[in-house]
Amino acid sequence: MMKTSQCIDNQQERVALFPGSFDPFTRGHESIVRRALPLFDKFVIAIGVNADKHPFMTMQQRKQWIQDVFNDDPRVQVITYDGLTVDVARQVGARFIVRGVRLIQDFENEKHLAEVNRDLTGIETILLYTLPEYSHISSSIVRELARYGQDVSSYLPQGMQLPQPE
């Protein structure tokens, strides 16, 4: 009979990748990470380049911001990447991709991506629904409000402030 500790030792480390542009990283993103963390040994937040978007914050600002939010949890690593998400998932040893879903349209998009990613690599995608209190928050809305000088602090992780536009 195998002891419990032997079973755990034989399992692969459960590494998840949470990809996105995170421009900016919102309370909704933070909620997804904090709720998913208990499921994994290591959680890699991967900030990707989105050629279709004009960034509000630099890649380095976003990386530092997210590191500051999770500086108390050694399971969280923050990286940047340019290229296919599945390629970076393989590079960091992720067996899972975590995505947040706010709306039915998000589900449709994520379902198609999950199927392609699984076909290409065998990596499974786990969808977490956004908590109702954060479902109206999106990075694009936060960026738009901030551009017009509105207070967006209630949409951002506690204690975080957007950089001032130059």
The CATH code of the domain that includes 93 is 3.40.50.620
Number of domains in the chain: 1
Per the CB < 8 A criterion, the answer to whether 130 and 28 are in contact is yes
Least confident range of 23-37, 82-96, 101-115, 139-153: 101-115
Query: Residue 9 pLDDT more than 80?
Result: no
**Is 164 within the bounds of a domain?**
no
Q: Looking at this protein, which amino acid is placed at residue 49?
A: V
**Is 5 within the bounds of a domain?**
no
**Is 7 within the bounds of a domain?**
no
**Is 50 within the bounds of a domain?**
yes
**Is 36 within the bounds of a domain?**
yes
Query: What is the model's pLDDT at position 5?
Result: 45
Neighbours of 139 (CB within 10 A): 20
Whose structure tokens read 């990613």? Answer: 117
Q: Looking at this protein, which amino acid is placed at residue 122?
A: G
- Across-strand partners of 96? 16, 124
**Is 1 within the bounds of a domain?**
no
Query: Residue 165 pLDDT more than 90?
Result: no
Residue among 22, 5, 81, 87 at smallest CA distance from 56? 22
- Tell me the CA end-to-end span of the chain in Å, nearest whole number: 65
Backbone Cα Rg of the chain: 17
> What is the pTM for the complete model shown?
0.88
pLDDT tens, position by position, 27-64: 999 999 999 999 999 999 999 987 777 888 999 999 99
Query: What is the model's pLDDT at position 160?
Result: 86
Task: Return d(Cα 121, Cα 150) in angstroms, integer.
Answer: 43
Residues 6 or more apart in contact with residue 150 via CB below 8 angstroms? none
155 is written with which tokens? 């949409």
Domain containing 61 equals: 12-155
pLDDT tens, position by position, 111-141: 999 999 999 999 999 999 999 999 999 999 9
**Is 2 within the bounds of a domain?**
no
What residues act catalytically? 29, 53, 102, 139
Query: What is the model's pLDDT at position 2?
Result: 43
pLDDT band at 12 (very low <50, low <70, confident <90, very high): confident
